[in-house]
Amino acid sequence: MGRLEKKVAVITGSASGIGRATAIRFAGEGASVVIADLNREGGESVVRECKENAGHAVFQHTDVSQEAAIQAAIARAVKEFGRLDIMYNNAGLGGAVGPIEQITVENWDRTMGVLLRGVFLGIKHAVPEMRKAGGGSIISTASVSGLRGSPPGIHAYCAAKAGVINLTRSAAMELAKDKIRVNCICPGGINTPLISNRVPGGEEVLGQLMAHFQPIQRAGRPDDIAAMALFLASDDSEWVTGQAMVVDGGLTAGLGGPLQAESAASERSGPLGGLDGWSGPSFEK
């Protein structure tokens, strides 16, 4: 029996990257999954992959910044599979990028709409169905950028991810009585289409660059985060709530010597650092 046997999950942003890896992992562990994403082509492809992994999955077109869309994704889970046990608020983008004095209010608000309001809405609307199920696990993707300052140019992203971390803590305190656990994951440098699609040379070049970011000298992989999400979704973590689980290859532990210099140089010229304006979802080139 899989670790998520008979459980039902909604995973936002699951048409690629971390969400895709998590959906496939969850399906292989026995979960039924709603693939909630704006990217219909990618999402339907992930549904096929989940089914090939002996799981059950459906695609739901979802804009996480819109309350009705989040409600519809959760309603789809209940309609198709009868309940909701796991809500993974994973959808993300780079958002507003560039010098802080040049960021527009419109782009700031759009960033918060996806990265922070989307998490709030996922938590809000998961709770009633999880109460009916006798409890559940809410997971959100935060970032090490929510724990410390990051390379210049991603101010809105850093602020939103810090908000996700503290929202996780406050929601966990409120919902513990309902046997609903609330945690978030703080990835380090993960090689996903969100970034690699915007780097000349793509995934291969980005992987080489990211290998110098942290003491474990390889780029993070979506499966690294999927493994932590599986732990948080499963009963193995039944006494874990209100936590920001760092999965970063040692990035936030501290660096030294040549590695520190290489990492600093890489961060200064990072793939989002040279952009001005807006960095959208992974399927938008």
| 88 flagged as catalytic | no
Alpha helix ranges (H) inside the chain: 17-28, 40-52, 67-81, 105-112, 118-133, 155-175, 193-196, 202-210, 222-233, 257-268
**Rounded Cα–Cα distance for residues 269 and 184 (Å):** 28
In terms of phi and psi (left: phi > 0; alpha: psi -120 to 50; beta: otherwise), the region of 41 is alpha
**Rounded Cα–Cα distance for residues 58 and 60 (Å):** 7
Closest CA to 90 of 44, 122, 127: 122
- Residue that has been written with the tokens 């990211």 in this structure: 210
- Among residues 157, 186, 214, 255, the one annotated as catalytic is 157
The residues carrying an active-site annotation are: 157
